[in-house]
Chains A and B, each alone.
Chain A
Amino acid sequence: MIRESQLFEPFTEEPISVMNEAGEWVGGFDLDLEPETLTRFYRDMLRARVVDERLGRLQRQGKVSFVAPGGGHEAAQVGIAHAMRAREDWLYPYYRDIGLLLALGLPLVEIVGQSLGTSADPAKARQMPYHPGSGEFNVFTVASPIASHVPPAAGTAISQKLAGSGEVTVCTFGDGATSEGDWHAGVNFAGAQGAPAVFVCENNGYAISVGMRHQTGSDSIHVKAHAYGMPGYFVDGMDVLASYYVMREAIARARDGFGPSLVELVVYRYGGHSSADDDSRYRPRAEVEQWKRRDPLTRFRRFLEKRELWDDEREAATLQELGDEFTAAVKQAEEAGVPPVASMFDDVFADLPARLRKQRAELLGEG
């Protein structure tokens, strides 16, 4: 239905935006979101920021070994999440997507448990922090090798097409990922099959220290869609409503059998690449400050305030609530305890082979 009255053109010169810096609607079409939905978007952005900040604090305290800050990506991630059908559509995320996973509905305690490495993690603390996943939510477990999740995402989308399931696969990644062979192999296969996939680049301009100019000869990421026979959308990823509406259209297009698209959400990474990074070595502070002036939360808050949907009081109350929620989640995740050593031998295969049984006994000093 959206496609017939398609709202957005692919391959625009400028990023698509529907809300200006002053928080005014400039979409040129009727906003069709309920007030509760709008405030929900904002709350999810605020939640992403609070969780990001608090996990960072846990990292500095030595409780969490690693973080990959998501500050600056909140609008993009919340827009993606709300355009999806949670538990029905599939998501192939990457490590910076904590805010996206929370907005999709993954329990905070699981996310915190994953980063703390406790049994609150449904994956039994098998991976380093910022690498969650959820069978219940069809969220493919994050893997470190950049872009290695792109061919599997294409496969799931092809399977969805074969099943006629009406589901869609959304696959997210950074700008650096688009240089990997796996990225091209996966996107190309989805294109060849007309699979219901939406590939989403959260383009923060850097892959650790390497900027876009050294990453690719292309001026932008979305243009790469040309090569794979799909539309490429260029979007202001600091605009939550633009992110949401473009994603909604791309997902509807995939769901209705019109094939994959590539969406580029232009964002900025406020923090270092990770807790192991020192970004002052490669980024001028002025650049960071300049982007922070375009903060996606500030912009959307202005939008809500104009509609009398938000004020200082609600902000303070929500921050209090989110802080308490995080504190409670840490407590609960810590209480779950660290998985027993012997559990490291589980889930290599469905059944434990004789060799692993022997190695387990030896490691536990029983052999």
Chain B
Amino acid sequence: MSAVTMVQAVARTLDEEMARDPRVVVMGEDVGKRGGVFLATEKLFDKYGPDRVIDTPLAEAAIVGAALGMAVHGLRPVAEIQFADYVYPGFDQLVSQVAKLRYRSGGQFTAPMVVRMPAGGGVKGGHHHSQSPEAHFAHTAGLKVVFPSTPKDTQGLLRAAIRDDDPVVFLEPKRLYRAVKEELDDDPDFALPIGKAAERRRGDDVVLVSYGGSMAETLRAADALVEQGISPHVIDLRSLAPWDEEAVLSAVARVGRVVLVSEAPHTASFMSEVSATIAEEVLDALLAPPARVTGPDTPYPYAQDREYLPGPNRILRAVQRVLDY
């Protein structure tokens, strides 16, 4: 089997799950004949038809809310939000209905559904095609939040999300959609557990933690560190809710220095939570305060599309700070 991009991994996993389970339906704006504006649902319409690949009205509240109503009635909907920046009209549905249904009904109703959305910057799309809203979802009790960075993780985690009995917000780093190709797993049941991080590199001098689009720059920074004779330990969180505290805390306890990298705006970002947890749990083992390298607290700019993102240089400067502390 040949290597595929991340967006192809999405399409292939959707195809495999739809073939396996007739309850799986795909819905969203332009997901039908067009195959999605990023082609994440390519060819599904031809194969499964309009009943299972549903072109919805241009209304995110309807997409998210109707997916919930389908899920309680026995389907396994995978809803696409065209850009994460457009989830806000459907945000109330996610927060008020989807996230809370199992809880508020005392388990009488559940919402086994996935809401996929391309997120993050680096595509010259301005603030309404570039944001990273994951902290909103991680802050909402009742949602699982996944943000992979490789084609194969996308395959394994999307399959796990579709088979999960609870709602999963599945963020896809759009600037990595076609960045790399990777062989997928041929096992039709290959799934990765939601909530487990991946160790991208084992090292002893500094722990780098990231996820989603920023993994690319984090790995480039790690390569540069190795060239300088510094040994980085790199963790890709992959899931934010739940997140792999064990993987992060054990690495930080062992190494004593940590840099947290995310392109989401700094204040109350997901990395704020990781940082606070490290401080609460392994303060004694720290040789330097945790450092966060994030997007600034500005709306996402257009002209400074690249500069907004925490690039290798900013990451390396932060590493230097924690090493020099």
User: For residue A131, which residues in chain B have a CB less than 8 angstroms away from its CB?
Assistant: 104
A135, A151, A192, A353: the one contacting B105 at CB < 8 Å is A135
- In the complex, the answer to whether A162 meets B106 with C-beta atoms within 8 Å is no
Residues in chain A within 8 A of chain B (CB atoms): 90, 121-124, 126-127, 131, 133-136, 140-141, 143, 145, 148-160, 162-163, 169, 181-182, 185-186, 188-189, 192-193, 346-350, 353-355
| Interchain CB contact under 8 A, B57 and A189 | yes
* Contact string against A for B residues 55-75, beta-carbon threshold 8 Å, 1 for contact and 0 otherwise: 011010110111111111111
Q: Is the CB of A162 within 8 A of B65?
A: no
Distance A348 CA – B99 CA, assembled complex (angstroms): 8
Q: List 4 additional contacts besides A148-B96, A182-B61, A192-B57; criterion CB under 8 Å.
A: A140-B109, A141-B105, A151-B66, A185-B59
Say whether B97 contacts A123, CB under 8 Å: no
**Across the interface, do B106 and A126 meet the contact criterion of CB distance under 8 Å?**
yes
In the bound complex, residues from chain B placing their C-beta under 8 Å from that of A126 are: 103-106
Q: B106 contacts A124, CB within 8 Å? A: yes
11 sampled A-B residue pairs with Cβ under 8 A: A123-B104, A123-B105, A123-B108, A133-B109, A135-B108, A148-B92, A149-B97, A152-B66, A154-B69, A157-B69, A189-B59
- From 128 to 150 in chain B, residues with beta carbon under 8 angstroms from any chain A beta carbon are 141-142, 144
**One of B57, B71, B103, B141 near A188 (C-beta < 8 A):** B57
B73-A90 in contact (CB<8A): yes
In whole angstroms, how far apart are the Cα atoms of A159 and B242 in the complex? 30
Residue in A152, A154, A350, A353 whose Cβ sees the most chain B Cβ within 10 Å: A152
Contact between B104 and A141, CB atoms less than 8 A apart: yes
Closest-by-CB residue of B relative to A149 is B97
Chain B residues with CB below 8 A from A162, complex form: 25, 51-52, 75
**Count of A-B contacts with CB under 8 A?**
148
With beta carbons under 8 angstroms apart, the residue of A143, A189, A347, A353 that contacts B106 is A347
* Interface membership of B245, Cβ < 8 A: yes
* B229 at interface, CB cutoff 8 A: no
Most chain-B Cβ atoms within 10 A of its Cβ — which of A131, A159, A160?
A: A159
Instruction: Specify which of A123, A182, A346 is in contact with B92 (CB 8 Å cutoff).
Output: A182
Q: Give the complex CA separation of A136 and B108 in angstroms.
A: 8
